[in-house]
Structure formats: C-alpha cells, structure tokens
Amino acid sequence: MKVTALIEDELIQDVMKISGAKNITEALRIVLKDYRSRKLLREYSNSIAAEPLEFNYGAQQIRDLNQK
C-alpha cells in the first residue's frame, strides 16, 4: 500500500537510528509491527487479569500423571 504522511524529519531519523532501519519504509514497518505486538500483548494481559488462570493440579499430581 502506498501512503503519503507528513511526519517530522527528526522523528523519522530517530526511529531509523533506534530501529537500525536502512530506509523510511523499513523503519515504519518495524515501528508499526512493534506497536501492534505491544497492543495485542496488552489486550491479552488485560483479558487474563480479568479472568485469571486456575491450576487444579499440584506438582505431585502432575508428576503422578506423567508417570502413567
């Protein structure tokens, strides 16, 4: 997809330096993937916090099950 965006030169240069990207397209791709990953991780974390995992077996019970 081709996109036209007005972004400050200083911000683009900082992102390229921090990400190690060779060009603007690569820098934006890196930043957008990172943003998406962080956003999804936050959403998953919130859903787990809202409904925590429950462990029904203790260590010995798991060992016994693995021995069968």
Q: At residue 46, does pLDDT exceed 90?
A: yes
Overall average pLDDT of the 8-31 stretch:
96
Q: Which of 38, 40, 39, 13 is nearest to 27 (CA)?
A: 13
Q: At residue 32, does pLDDT exceed 90?
A: yes
* DSSP codes, 3-55: ------HHHHHHHHHHHT-SSHHHHHHHHHHHHHHHHHHHHHHHHHHHS----
Q: Could you report the per-residue pLDDT of 48-64, keeping only the tens digit for each? A: 899 888 888 888 888 98
| Residue 18 vs residues 6, 15, 32, 51, 52: alpha-carbon distances, Å | 20, 5, 14, 36, 36
**What's the whole-model pTM score?**
0.68
